[in-house]
Amino acid sequence: MSAIEKGFKRLLFTLLRVFVHVRTVGTIPRSSVRNVLVVRQHNQLGDMLCAVPLFRALRHTYPEARIVLLARPLNSEILRGSPFLDEIIVYDKRKFLQSPLQVLRFGRALRRRNFDLVITPATVSMSVTSDLLAFLTRAPRRIGPASLNGKSNLTGYLYNVRVDLDWSGDPDRHQTLRNLDIASILVPETVSQELEIGLGAEELESGRERLADKRGRRTLVIGFHPGAAKIPNRWDALRFAEIANRCAEIHGAFIVITAGPDDEEPLREMTLNMPNQCLVLHNEPIRTVAAAIAQCDVFVTNDTGMMHVSAGVGTPTLSLFGPTDPLQWAPPGSMHRFILGQGGSVNTIPVEKVWDVLSHILAQLHAAGRLAATAVE
């Protein structure tokens, strides 16, 4: 955070404390909710996709309501086709930092939308910006964090329904459930935890055509994501190449490799050690990549945003974890598997372990009739 941003926020805190007085509200009748805003403006792709069960629960609870998501530019596209959202409003923080007037104009635009209910999840950290945006809607019911794991929210007073979020006694509670906890007074926890992006028919067809140009007659498709923005989350790219080569040589698999802007080095290392033809998707639009992953029979990935994308398109996902808790972050659902490295290091995971788990997944898919017999011979 820049010095200018810190100074602006300190001034804002002071003014808000002096002039703002928010009364808490009691129960929220279901019939009174027609227009809902969820403020989820974190930049991390995984954080956004782990909020999908919350959107699903809101759609279940308020089937006739209009449900709107406020998101940052980086995460606004991935959920454009979500069956649980009616609209996505993009909030570009960089533009608003240029002038406080921009924030006020945006706030007025939000207020004119007449939201009945605003919800601000907080699972990893609390956000002053999110709290302020929720307040500027002037919605009669605003639900947000009063504290997070014992740490008080300095701008929690901007909400009139304040929730203490504390998972210190349950550190393995999954991120999807943590997103639901903020709205526990409204929605059932029994809603499915599975991630869902919502690709359209045209997007899926485009993904099929993209692979058809290169895969030829090969029936088995296995995807790999060797990168991760956080270097400690990266399993050695040469090991990814070894697994991919085995898949091609033993099972005749067609290989798809995805990579983002921070993944050039692991992508280069992996592809240089792969003599077999493959499809590389590097720095392509996120929904284009998602449509290609949807054509894969299995996706093998580091602990990163693409892991959640794979789960969100319904592809069985094998994720490799190091310093992060997989019980919190691994994709929920019986079709997905994870392997955790020892001592917080993903590179303690041996190639043979990954191969064994991947082979087991392929055998299960074959037994369930989801793979052609030749694919696992």
For residue 52, pLDDT over 80 is answered with yes
Structural Rg of the chain based on CA atoms: 22
Residues 109-150: tens digit of each pLDDT: 999 999 999 999 999 999 988 998 999 999 999 999 999 999
Question: Tokens 């299960």 — which residue?
Answer: 364
Q: At 69, is the secondary structure helix, strand, or coil?
A: strand
For residue 80, pLDDT over 60 is answered with yes
Average pLDDT, the chain: 91
Residues 81-113: tens digit of each pLDDT: 999 999 999 988 777 767 778 888 898 999 999
Write down the pLDDT at residue 140: 94
Strands 141-148 vs 151-152: parallel, antiparallel or unpaired: antiparallel
Q: Which pLDDT band holds residue 32 (cuts at 50, 70, 90)?
A: confident
Of the candidates 112, 133, 161, which has an alpha carbon nearest to the alpha carbon of residue 39? 133
Q: What distance, in Å, lies between the first and last C-alpha atoms of the chain?
A: 54
Write down the pLDDT at residue 15: 64
Residues 146-189: tens digit of each pLDDT: 999 999 998 999 999 999 999 999 999 999 999 999 999 898 77
Backbone angles phi, psi at 258, to 5 degrees: -110, 150
Residues 253-295: tens digit of each pLDDT: 999 999 999 999 999 999 999 877 899 999 999 999 999 999 9
Write down the pLDDT at residue 29: 74
| Domain formed by 201-376, architecture | 3-Layer(aba) Sandwich (3.40)
Domain with CATH 3.40.50.2000 in the chain: 31-181, 201-376
Task: State both tokens at 52.
Answer: 């999908």
For residue 377, pLDDT over 60 is answered with no
State how far the alpha carbon of 270 is from the alpha carbons of 79, 255, 256, 303, in Å.
Answer: 30, 12, 12, 17
Backbone angles phi, psi at 22, to 5 degrees: -115, 125
Please report, rounded to a whole number, the percentage of residues in the chain having pLDDT higher than 70: 91
Write down the pLDDT at residue 93: 78
Q: Whole-prediction pTM value?
A: 0.91
At the topology level, CATH places domain 31-181 in Rossmann fold (3.40.50)
State how far the alpha carbon of 317 is from the alpha carbons of 12, 157, 222, 228, 361, in Å.
Answer: 44, 41, 10, 16, 9
- Mean pLDDT is lowest, of 21-30, 74-83, 318-327, 342-351, for 21-30
Write down the pLDDT at residue 188: 78
Write down the pLDDT at residue 376: 56
Residues 320-338: tens digit of each pLDDT: 999 999 999 999 999 999 9
For residue 18, pLDDT over 60 is answered with no
Write down the pLDDT at residue 27: 65
**Kind and range of the H or E run holding 15:** helix 3-19
Residue 172 in contact with residue 212, Cβ under 8 Å?
A: no
Residue 296 in contact with residue 256, Cβ under 8 Å?
A: yes
- The neighbour count for residue 44, using CB atoms within 10 Å, is 16
